[in-house]
Amino acid sequence: MKTTCDLYDQYGDQLRVVPPLLNDFGARTSFYGKAVTVKCFEDNSRIKELVNTPGNGQVLVIDGGASLRCALFGDVIAKEAVENGWAGVIVYGCVRDKAMLKTIDLGIKAIGATPRKSTKKGEGQVGIPVVINGMPCKPGDLVVADEDGVLFADPGLIEQ
């Protein structure tokens, strides 16, 4: 896959560029795949369920409402994501276990880190359009992420 800069040079405003806010937390800084979306606020129940399904090289895009009060994603869930073949995770919120996440072969981008864990009440919606820092992402969109940022593309726009 080309870099986000090269893709933007080629496709321009046909791509949705997530405004810079997300930081790298995983061992992989470049990753891409089809978006699987989840919207949840301070409850990571659906995230835990999703990473335990076959990832098939997809990217989990989590709209956590930009909450900084708790982490939606940590090292235990990251290891499960790797075991199940996920390419990466975009968290519009926080992660935890930052030192461990750096050692896990998974692309992870999030706003920040906090030690506080989320609740587990079984709340959240899967497979719906989400918004990450103002940019919409639909299930099935192509997600491309690297050190320069994150792009969302409609299915079929970019040849892989």
Q: Where are the domains of the chain?
A: 4-10+20-152
pLDDT of residue 25: 98
The C-alpha R_g of the chain, in whole angstroms, comes to 14
Residue 159 pLDDT: 77
Distances, alpha carbon 82 to alpha carbons 6, 28, 56, 68, in Å: 27, 11, 10, 25
56 touches 140 (CB < 8 A): no
CATH architecture, domain defined by 4-10+20-152: 3-Layer(bba) Sandwich (3.50)
**Mean pLDDT, contiguous 10-residue spans, the chain (160 residues):** 96 97 98 98 97 98 98 98 98 98 98 96 96 98 98 91
d(CA 80, CA 52): 6
CA 110 remoteness from chain centre:
7
Q: What are the residues whose beta carbons fall under 8 Å from the beta carbon of 96, sequence distance 6 or more?
A: 71, 73, 74, 75, 113, 114, 115, 116, 117
